[in-house]
């Protein structure tokens, strides 16, 4: 697996700008990256159970190329509460289309927010199911022009360099205009549940090897059990629901499929 260096953008912010929990200083956060090897103080909610399987269509990225509506919404039900992302396709059409197809087939269900850096970003997008990660490793999409700034609560794909976007994304936890010049193109924004975003568990800090947080390669290989065992306080996505944006034309939404047994469900005797 080909890992992206996490410290490429050491000059993005000063160390004092983003303090880490329990430290007086924090190494400068790297730009949001993806691996090509590829909780509001709101109480935890049990409104939706975590997904126990994945949609087999996700094993065939080349077939998941539906054009997204001009605007649409994705509701995230998480361990910390619910939030909604509103996407505007014109901002970054290729990114909006990829996110649409991933959400339509429930790729993000059961995933953890594995890299949450206070005052910087909340990153997610590595599947909880190891079988899916190598399939999407080479399913890259070309870059979109940057038409919007990386403002607080805006959603953007992480990259491993030019034209390497796959499935990893980040939500800006502050205005990060310096990311604009690096080619990070926002395609949507959190429009409801911002307090949920503000309180996602962040005390694990930066990921390995530059920090003591989760190692992306291990998430790729082991999936959610690795995170549950070693980083049990991480918040996670229970399920996502794709809906039209208010006033937008309706479209068909696929229900979550349960065709593949969850290898981590101990009730199945595994």
Residue (of 106, 114, 205, 123) closest to 157 by Cα position: 123
Burial of 13 (0-12, 13-18, 19+ CB in 10 A): buried
pLDDT of residue 34: 62
Domain range 15-48+57-249, CATH architecture: Beta Barrel (2.40)
Q: CB under 8 Å to 244, separation ≥6 — which residues?
A: 69, 71, 72, 73, 250, 251
Output the pLDDT for position 264.
37
Q: Is the pLDDT of residue 12 over 90?
A: no
Q: What is the pLDDT of residue 33?
A: 62
Whole-model pTM? 0.77
Where in the chain are the domains?
Answer: 15-48+57-249
Condensed to tens digits (0 to 9), the pLDDT of residues 132-149 reads: 999 999 999 999 999 999
Residue with the bigger pLDDT between 6 and 51: it is 51
pLDDT at 244: 84
Task: Kindly report, residue by residue over 146-171, the tens digit of the pLDDT.
Answer: 999 999 999 999 999 999 999 999 99
Q: Which of 32-46, 138-152, 240-254 has the lowest mean pLDDT?
A: 32-46
In tens, the pLDDT along 211-231 reads 999 999 999 999 999 999 999
pLDDT of residue 249: 53
Give yes or no for residue 268 having a pLDDT over 60.
no
Instruction: Name the band, by pLDDT with cuts 50, 70 and 90, for residue 247.
Output: low
pLDDT value of position 54: 86
Among left, alpha and beta (phi > 0; psi -120 to 50; other), residue 133 is alpha
Cβ neighbours of 170 (radius 10 Å):
29
pLDDT of 114-126, one tens digit each? 999 999 999 999 9
Q: What is the pLDDT of residue 141?
A: 98
Average pLDDT of the segment spanning 39-48: 34
Inform me whether the pLDDT recorded for 269 exceeds 70: no
């Amino acid at each position: 697996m080909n890992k992206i260096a996490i410290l490429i953008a050491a000059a993005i912010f000063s160390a004092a700008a983003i303090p880490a929990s329990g430290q007086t200083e924090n190494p400068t956060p790297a730009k949001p990256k993806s691996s090509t090897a590829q909780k509001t103080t709101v109480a935890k909610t049990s409104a939706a159970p975590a997904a126990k399987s994945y949609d087999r269509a996700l094993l065939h990225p080349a077939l998941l190329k539906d054009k997204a509506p001009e605007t649409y919404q994705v509701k995230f039900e998480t361990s910390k509460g619910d939030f909604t992302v509103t996407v505007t396709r014109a901002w970054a059409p290729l990114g909006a289309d990829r996110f649409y197809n991933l959400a339509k087939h429930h790729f993000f269900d059961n995933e953890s927010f594995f890299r949450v850096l206070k005052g910087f970003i909340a990153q997610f997008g590595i599947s909880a199911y190891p079988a899916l990660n190598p399939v999407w490793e080479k399913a890259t999409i070309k870059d979109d022009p940057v038409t919007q700034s990386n403002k607080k609560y805006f959603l953007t794909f992480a990259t491993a360099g030019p034209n390497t976007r796959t499935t990893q994304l980040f939500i800006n936890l502050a205005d990060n205009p310096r990311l604009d010049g690096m080619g990070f193109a926002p395609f949507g924004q959190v429009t409801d549940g911002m307090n949920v975003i503000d309180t996602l568990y962040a005390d694990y800090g930066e990921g390995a090897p530059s920090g003591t947080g989760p190692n992306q390669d291990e998430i790729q290989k082991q999936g959610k059990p690795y995170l549950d065992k070693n980083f049990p306080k991480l918040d996670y996505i229970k399920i996502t629901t794709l809906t039209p944006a208010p006033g937008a034309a309706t479209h068909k939404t696929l229900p979550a499929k349960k065709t593949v047994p969850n290898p981590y469900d101990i009730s199945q005797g595994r």
